[in-house]
Amino acid sequence: MDIQENIPLSYYTTIGLGGEARYFVSVKSLEELQHALIFAKEKKISFFLLGRGSNTLFDDRGYNGLVILNRMNQCKIIDNQIQVDAGYSFANLGMKTAKKGFSGLEFASGIPGSVGGAVFMNAGANGKSTWDVLETITFIDEDRKLRKEEKTKFQSSYRFSSFQKTKSVIVSATFRLIKSSAAKDTYKKLLELRINSQPYGDKSAGCIFKNPTNEHAGALIDSCKLKGLSVGKAKVSDVHANFIVTEKGVSSQDIHKLITLIKHEVFDKKKIMLEQEVRIVPYQS
């Protein structure tokens, strides 16, 4: 494996933010992933699994450990069962399965994350979530043993899975879908909706906040007249208020200050405390 040092993380995030990783490696197989974890253990350093770089805010100082870029990218369709590596594009998975006439993952259209990230976060849209059609997860547990378990072995809820509370590493997932002649059209409609209603061409990390119960974070922020509000090179999107878009030269402090300001304004005017969906990765974890 080619373990590199002092690699800028801004190239690997959709928001274009992040200092340098002390160590950095791209893995394309289970064996390489296992070797990367051994390297981190031997060096006695923390590690962070990075997929497609969405939903992630690194520190301006970077990450003082090993960033493992997951490029494991195999996908197999056997009957209506989809076996797919964690590094595979979630958006591409939604497109591929819909085009082949399978329904269940059409909502993944345009979601700029990896399959592993989608399982980890229980990503979703339009009232659907990843764990709705998830069947099994293959992962490396905290004792560094390779395991495969049914999803019923874990907890999941809105934008949450048990993996958020462990140091386990998702390797692959299996989904069970259903045949549908309407899947392709549904996918196209959802993709068009996403493109027209979100800042699709701008740099962002995706949705910043979770939707509160019976509310939509974007609508709440918009109702507080915060669209266009900026701190430094970070701005609340004029297209969708639950997105923070950035310009070249943005700092993590710009985004943190803007997030704090949004939270305070929404709580002050609506008495609702927004909860972050985006993952903030500290320099030293």
Distance separating alpha carbons of residues 278 and 121, to the nearest angstrom: 10
**What phi and psi, each to the nearest 5 degrees, are found at residue 241?**
-70, -10
Q: Which amino acid is at 30?
A: L
- CA-based nearest residue to 51, from 1, 96, 85: 85
Catalytic residue positions, numbered = 159, 207, 277
From residue 108, how far is each of 23, 57, 60, 63, 125 by CA, in Å? 31, 21, 30, 29, 7
**DSSP code at position 151:** G
Q: 103, 179 in Cβ contact below 8 A?
A: yes
Closest by CA to 69, choosing from 142, 147, 137, 3, is: 3
